[in-house]
Structure formats: structure tokens, C-alpha cells
Amino acid sequence: MLMLKINGKEVKVDAEPDTPLLWVLRGELHMNGTKFGCGMALCGTCTVHLDGEPVRSCVTPISEIGARNITTIEGLQGSEAEALKTAWTELDVVQCGYCQSGQLMSASALLKKTPNPSDADIDAAMSGNICRCGTYPRIRAAIHQAAGKKGA
């Protein structure tokens, strides 16, 4: 048994130490907001935060997490998260929606570090997040909009 701190709560999990965090979240804990995309940390769909830093849960073994705090899309909160969710809706960012939890997790981490990001900042932070629907211009616009609203 391993203890993980997920979205502010301690959770016991019964999984092998090399099990990827994504499989624990989805299979054992039934937290299905974090999606499986490529399984190789290339698409960003499985992004969660470890102590506020975005990581790819599909390649992060639970043995490497230790006492760090895990935040999933279900637990994403704060002014950045709320501003992003509002901007995502107002600008109709979502098409199929499959990549959106990973997009929001990466965007939230960006705004925490860089409150007023440039296009280059956004492109760098979001470069590992693939959207097969191609909503990149709306994602960028939503991040800019959220940056203006998060302090309001």
C-alpha cells in the first residue's frame, strides 16, 4: 500500500511501485478527468500537477511521487483556474474536448508562474499539449483573457 496526496486528500492505493500515476487515477481511484492519449508523454492529455508543476502522469511511476501533492483536473482551483475555465467557455475553446483537462492543467501552471504571459511564453508552456481539433488560436486567446481576469 502506498499513500498519495491527491487534491488535498490522503489516499491509499494498492498498486505496484512502477505503475504509472495515470493508471492509478483512472483504474483504481476512478478519477477519469485525466485522459490517456499517447502513453509516451508526448501529447499532454494526461497532465497533472506535482507540487504545482505540470507532469505527464502516463510516464510518472507512483514510486517517484513520495509526499508531493498531486492535483488533477478534478481538484484544479484558484483564481487562475477559475479565470481559465471562464475564458475557455466564453471563447468556445473546446471542440471534441478530449485534450482539455491537460490543456487547462498546463495553462494553469503557466499563469501561476507567469501572470501576464506573452505569446512566446504561452507557446513554450503549451507546446507539449496536442489538440487534434486545432484550437490553438483560441487556447492562446483564452490564456490571455484569463491572465487579465484572474486578479479581478
Domains, the chain, in order of start with CATH, read 2-75 (3.10.20.30), 79-149 (1.10.150.120)
* Mode of pairing for the β-strands spanning 2-6 and 69-71: parallel
Complete edge-to-edge strand list for the sheet that includes strand 69-71: 9-13, 2-6, 69-71, 47-50, 53-56
Would you write out the chain's pLDDT as a tens digit for each of its 152 residues? 899 999 999 999 999 999 999 999 999 999 999 999 999 999 999 999 999 999 999 999 999 999 999 999 999 999 999 999 999 999 999 999 999 999 999 999 999 999 999 999 999 999 999 999 999 999 999 999 999 976 54
**Residue 76 identity (one-letter amino acid):** L
Phi–psi pair at 147, nearest 5 degrees: -60, -35
d(CA 61, CA 1): 14
